[in-house]
Amino acid sequence: MKTLSEPLSKLEIGYGGNHTNNGTIRADEWDPEIRGKRWIRKCREMRDSDSTIGAVCYATEQILRDVKYEVVPADDSEQAKKEAQFLEEVLADMEHTLDDHISEALSFLTFGFAVFEVVYKRRVGPNQKDRKKRSKYTDGRIGIRKLASRAQWTLERFEIDKETGDLLGFVQDRTYTSKGKGFLPIGKCIHYKTTNTNNDPSGRSILRNAYKSYTFLTNVQRIEAIAIERELTGIPVGRMPADYMSSDATEAQAALRQEFERVLRDLKFNDQGYILLPSDLLVDSEGKATGGVGSRLMDVELISANGTRNIEIRPVVNDYQRDIAMSILADFVKLGNGDGGSYALSKSKTDLFLKAQESYIQTMVDILNKQLVEPLWQINGLDYKVMPRIEAGDVVPHDLENISRFLRNLNGAKINVADHAEVVADLMQMAELEFDKDAYVENIEERKALEESLRRTGDEGMGGQPGQPRGNQVL
């Protein structure tokens, strides 16, 4: 085996895929019908028109918007706490709230990726002439004015380094931008994406596996709507003399036939619907009017369907809706809507869905720390050793009953957690109760000091040495 040289080991020889060649959105997608910006349009259609997908997207947004975020210092030093306060001030001093940004950023789940342009500002105080650049702080550092959303449908393609395959930035459609402002460098952006598979900047939409079921469901629902309309109104059938339908009909007869066809095509039951027909009767060979039903010169009737269908449409619709929900781990939304299911089944499905939400929010926090906090530290020339980080709270609500059972088991094993302030603080946070950790630690220390004093007093009163067993005491 030939030894790998150092220069060769540092080269990147291969490439990721088609997206590294042309930067097309979803360039490696095997289905050409949803490749490029066509997929972006399809995602918008699915999100905005399908009830199941819309319900899941709404639930996801509301759940993740309720998550608490906090800035955690790098360590317990005063400098680290000071820099954590600086980051908190930066996030609070933007034109919008962090919650608003999270709400917009969640679109990366629908489309697979989301792009935001970071707009900085100098923290020079409220006397700044430009109101948009004003800040409540006057330390002269660089802060953040806003995280401007760059909607997925405004992006034309990705700019890719042809040699390394690295993402250089984003090219916006010229219809959305002014001349010369269509390129967004990656260093000025926050780029959320669901997956890093093949290093594709498009990510992978959580709706991708629902696309097939959504397509069939849309067709079935359209057929169902037409069938219901036809079932209620019937199929129009018109009758007119054969001369009007022959190839040698006069212009007047042909015009009447076309008008009659239009009436039949547009015939519906509504408040103002009607048909106006001639009252002339058909005549026999002698020119005498015929009598009886169907003897009019022109006639219209409605044919209604009889009997039942071999295939019921509604179960098919429900199956496709269930498939869509299952593809995004949200089939619990169908429980109770005609579908059976126990509480245990519902809880397990809901817990799985919430676990997925935890991974989404952790992805977002990691990207914020990497693509927002680190560049902010770099542009201000700050020490990375005291750089804080953003952390997200819990998405899944804690089961206090199970936690209390666990604590009882610990107590039975003679394990006391009351003396561990960090553990008590975490328990109070899980219960969403206010807790003063410093005061609790102080009380623990005072209690331990009092117990030690009483123990020493007792030892001396019994004539023993402190800390030594007395008489028949069992330690």
Instruction: Express as a percent the part of the chain with pLDDT over 70.
Output: 79
| CA–CA distances in Å: residue 409 to residues 403, 417, 425, 431 | 10, 12, 19, 19
Q: Which residue has the tokens 């669901």?
A: 194
Q: Is pLDDT of 84 > 90?
A: yes
Per-residue pLDDT band for 236 (boundaries 50, 70, 90) equals confident
Same domain? For 69 and 128 the reply is yes
> 17-21, 95-99, 293-297: which range is least confident on average?
293-297
The reply to whether 326 falls in a domain is no
Asked if residue 292 and residue 192 are part of one domain, the reply reads: no
Q: Is residue 395 assigned to a domain? A: no
**Burial status of residue 57 (CB atoms within 10 A of its CB: 0-12, 13-18, 19 or more):** buried
Nearest CA-CA partner of 207 in 48, 351, 337, 24: 48
Within 10 A of 214 (CB to CB), how many other CB atoms are there? 23
Q: Which helix (H) or strand (E) holds 172?
A: strand 167-172
How far, CA to CA in Å, does 369 sit from each of 91, 192, 197, 392? Answer: 12, 12, 21, 11
Q: What is the pLDDT of residues 31-60, one digit of tens each?
A: 988 999 999 999 999 999 998 899 888 888
Is 225 within the bounds of a domain? Answer: no
Query: Is 471's pLDDT higher than 60?
Result: no
- Among 266-280, 334-348, 383-397, top mean pLDDT goes to 383-397
Looking at the structure, tell me whether residues 153 and 99 fall in a common domain.
yes
pTM of the full predicted structure?
0.72
Write out the residue range of the structural domain in which residue 28 sits.
11-206+349-380
- Both structure tokens of 445: 């220390």
d(C-alpha 125, C-alpha 136), whole Å: 5
Same domain, 84 and 121: yes
Which of 288, 303, 318 is the C-terminal boundary of a domain?
A: 303
pLDDT above 90 (res 350): no
According to the model, what pLDDT value does residue 474 have? 43
- Please state the separation of Cα 379 from the chain's center in Å: 31
Residues 239 and 95 in one domain: no
In this structure, is residue 217 part of a structural domain?
A: no
**pLDDT at position 349, please?**
75
Specify whether 355 is located in the same domain as 271: no
pLDDT at site 472:
47
Last residue of a domain, one of 269, 303, 337: 303
Q: What does the pLDDT look like over 381-431, one tens digit per residue?
A: 999 999 999 998 877 766 677 778 887 887 778 787 777 777 777 777 777
Q: Are residues 290 and 429 in the same domain?
A: no
Residue for token digits 């239009």? Answer: 262
Quick check: 211 and 217 in contact, CB under 8 A?
Answer: no
Region 342-364 average pLDDT: 77
Within a domain: residue 226? no
Same domain, 124 and 177: yes
Does residue 3 contact residue 155 with C-beta atoms inside 8 Å?
A: no
Q: Which is nearest to 364 in space by CA: 77, 179, 103?
A: 103
Q: Quick one: pLDDT at residue 109?
A: 93
How far apart, in whole angstroms, are the C-alpha atoms of residue 458 and residue 475?
15
Quick one: average pLDDT of 246-266? Answer: 85
Distance from C-alpha of 362 to C-alpha of 395, rounded to nearest angstrom: 10
Examine the domain organization and report whether 163 and 292 are in the same domain: no
In a domain, 475, yes or no: no
| Residue 290 counted as domain residue | yes
Mean pLDDT to the nearest integer, 215-229? 86
Lowest mean pLDDT among 199-203, 294-298, 446-450: 294-298
DSSP 325-377: HHHTT-GGGGBTTTB---HHHHHHHHHHHHHHHHHHHHHHHHHHIIIIIHHHH
Q: Which two tokens stand for residue 262?
A: 């239009």
Q: Is the domain of 99 the same as that of 157?
A: yes
Both 36 and 172 in a single domain? yes
In a domain, 364, yes or no: yes
Q: Are residues 51 and 197 in the same domain?
A: yes
Sign of CA dihedral 47, 53, 57, 58: positive
Q: How many domains does the chain have?
A: 3
